[in-house]
Structure 1
Amino acid sequence: MHDSVQKYIDIINLIKLKIEDQKIDKFPKVIAVSKTFNLEKILPLINYGHLDYGENKVQEAIEKWTKKKHENSKIRLHLLGKLQTNKVKFALKIFDYIHSIDSKKLAKKIADEEVKQNKKVKIFLQVNIGNEDQKSGVNKDELISLYNYCKDLKLNVIGLMCLPPINEDPNKYFKEIYLLNKKLELPELSMGMSSDYLKAVENYSTYLRIGSSIFGSRS
């Protein structure tokens, strides 16, 4: 068995133990974060049957995944990185989920492009949960306004996404984003990476973004 597949199976088993221990009903989806890795590195996991993959850059995703998605229409691609408005039309051609909506300008561009392409994508609103100047994401006090704007645009907002501050205990931030998500009555929650995914599971994450723990460190 390929190393990445074994690591993936080990992660799934750890998640199973955690949700059984915490008596959590919903098993979270694992997004295998394949950014910077070539398709050869990812193929064993695709062949094993895993379907959800995450990329940070639109152009890289198009070059890497266009043919493979044509071959296997069940593959679901998640855009995790910041999306520039001039890349929206290209992003909608390849991605099924966008996890990084953080402004009304970007939301409007996506809504317009959805009409042009006759396609709906599933959307997470990225929240700057730690109020960090260097990070993308809508401020918490502007979240409700952005969410209502997206609803008016008929965007399919399914949940919130966050990246907790590095070198801090993510638990308090996971709890906070969970409560915000619950307040908006959204069904999904995108949080947790290789370093903290089990803590995210404890706080009811439904989409985990795991890369290096599956594919190894990036060069």
Structure 2
Amino acid sequence: MHSTIQNLIDIEDKIKSNLAVLAINKLPKIIGVSKTFKMNQILPLINHGHIDFGENKVQEAIEKWTKVKVNNPNIKLHMIGKLQTNKVKYAVKIFDYIHSVDSEKLAKKISDEQIKINKHIKIFIQVNIGDENQKSGVAINQLKKLVSYCKEINLKILGLMCIPPLDVNSSTYFKKMSLLNKDFNFSELSMGMSSDYMQASENSATFLRIGSSIFGSRS
């Protein structure tokens, strides 16, 4: 068995047994964050039946996934990086989910472009949960306004997304996100990466964005 498949199975088992102890029965979906990895490293997972993959650059996603998605129409591609408005037109064509909406300007552009090609992208709103200057994401006090705007322009918002500050216990931020998500009555929550996916899954994350723990370290 290919190492990436074994890594994925190990992660799934770990999450499953941990959540069973906590009597949580909804298992999160794992997005295999395949950015910077070549398709020959990704194919074993596709052949294994894994369908959720994450990229953070539009151009790289187009080059890697256009043909593969035609041959595997069940694959769901997630845009998990910062999205520039000038790339939205291309992003909307290749991606099924966008996890990084953090402004009205970006929301409007996505809305306009998806109307043109009659496609409904699934959206997460990125929250700057640690209130960090260098991080993308909408400030908590602006979140309600952005959610209302996205609904007005008929974006399909599934839930919220965050990247907590580095080198801290992520659980505090994940708890906060879980409550925020419930406040808006959203069904999905995108949080947790290789370093903290266990804490995220304990706090109602429904999509985990896991890269290096599946694919190995990036060169």
**What's the TM-score, normalizing by structure 1?**
0.99
1:23, CA displacement in angstroms? 1.1
Q: Identity of aligned pairs, percent?
A: 62
1:186, CA displacement in angstroms? 0.2
Moved over 4 A (4+): none
Give the unaligned 5+ runs of structure 1.
none
1:25, CA displacement in angstroms? 2.5
**Match runs of 1:10-159 below 5 Å:** 10-159=10-159
In 1, Cα distance between the equivalents of 2:56 and 2:163?
14
Q: How well do the aligned residues superpose, as a CA RMSD in angstroms? A: 0.5
- Matched to 2:22, the amino acid is Q
In 2, Cα distance between the equivalents of 1:23 and 1:189?
19
Match of 1:179 in 2: 179
The secondary structure found in structure 2 opposite 1:125 is strand
Give the unaligned 5+ runs of structure 2.
none
- Matched to 1:4, the amino acid is T
1:18·1:201 contact (CA, 8 Å) conserved in 2? Answer: no
- Matched to 1:120, the amino acid is H
In 2, Cα distance between the equivalents of 1:105 and 1:21?
43
In 2, Cα distance between the equivalents of 1:112 and 1:214?
35
The secondary structure found in structure 2 opposite 1:82 is coil
- Matched to 1:178, the amino acid is S
Match of 1:207 in 2: 207
Q: Give CA deviations for 1:24-64 in whole Å, capped at 9, x if unaligned.
A: 12110000000000000111111111000000000000000
1:68, CA displacement in angstroms? 0.3
Q: Give CA deviations for 1:63-82 in whole Å, capped at 9, x if unaligned.
A: 00000000010000000000
The secondary structure found in structure 2 opposite 1:135 is coil
1:115, CA displacement in angstroms? 0.8
Match of 1:7 in 2: 7
Q: Give CA deviations for 1:70-108 in whole Å, capped at 9, x if unaligned.
A: 001000000000000010010011000000000000000
In 2, Cα distance between the equivalents of 1:26 and 1:75?
21
1:114, CA displacement in angstroms? 1.1
In 1, Cα distance between the equivalents of 2:100 and 2:139?
13
In 1, Cα distance between the equivalents of 2:40 and 2:208?
23
1:145, CA displacement in angstroms? 0.2
- Matched to 1:149, the amino acid is Y
In 2, Cα distance between the equivalents of 1:178 and 1:151?
20
